[in-house]
């Protein structure tokens, strides 16, 4: 008969998950907002990793404020992207919650204050061009999320499928 685990033992063997967010913003002609990070290759959209106890939506709101200086209270969840990862020999799962931040007004765009500690520049590009220069995980998730926005549905993206 197998011995029962204590609650402490059980908690230690639970799988590790990294939870993050990505937020898709557009201008009035349908171009996607992208950011050029100064710490890695490829372009990104606003977003990041959740803090302890922070929900994905809270993270998306916080990262939007930190990275582009805008308070955008209404965001719609449009997709979830799952990917197994390995960093420095440690294996874990990554879950990215993708939100639609909507169309920014010209006034909001003029108020963008980019976080210069992490980013060198931002721009708006047509989605096809933007996707071609995004980070690998965003290249996999953004097209399906854009389709979900267009069709008013939801995208589940599994990197293994």
For residue 77, CA distances in Å to 6, 32, 81, 115, 124 come to 37, 17, 12, 24, 21
Task: State pLDDT tens for residues 86-119.
Answer: 878 878 899 999 999 999 999 999 999 999 999 9
Q: How many helices (H) and strands (E) does the chain have?
A: 5, 6
Q: Locate 138 and state its tokens.
A: 């965003």
- Do residues 81 and 137 make contact, with C-beta atoms less than 8 angstroms apart? yes
For residue 3, what pLDDT is reported? Answer: 83
The residue assigned the tokens 């980019």 is 114
The residue assigned the tokens 């201008």 is 27
Q: Locate 146 and state its tokens.
A: 């854009």
- Do residues 97 and 56 make contact, with C-beta atoms less than 8 angstroms apart? yes
- H or E element that contains 66: helix 56-68
Task: State pLDDT tens for residues 38-81.
Answer: 999 999 999 999 999 999 999 999 999 999 999 999 999 999 99
- Do residues 56 and 50 make contact, with C-beta atoms less than 8 angstroms apart? yes
């Amino acid at each position: 008969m197998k011995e029962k685990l204590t609650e402490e033992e059980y908690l230690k063997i639970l799988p590790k998950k990294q939870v993050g967010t990505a937020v898709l913003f557009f201008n009035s002609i349908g171009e996607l907002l992208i950011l050029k990070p100064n710490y890695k290759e490829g372009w990104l959209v606003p977003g990041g990793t959740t803090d302890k106890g922070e929900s994905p939506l809270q993270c998306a709101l916080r990262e939007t404020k930190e990275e582009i200086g805008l308070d955008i209270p209404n965001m719609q969840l449009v997709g979830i992207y799952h990917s197994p990862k390995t960093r420095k020999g440690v294996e874990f799962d990554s879950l990215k919650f993708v939100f639609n931040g909507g169309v920014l007004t010209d006034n909001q765009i003029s108020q963008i204050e980019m976080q210069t500690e992490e980013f060198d520049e931002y721009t708006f590009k047509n989605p096809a061009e933007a996707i071609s220069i995004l980070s690998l995980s965003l290249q996999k998730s953004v097209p399906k999320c854009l389709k979900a926005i267009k069709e008013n549905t939801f995208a589940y993206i599994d990197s293994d499928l």
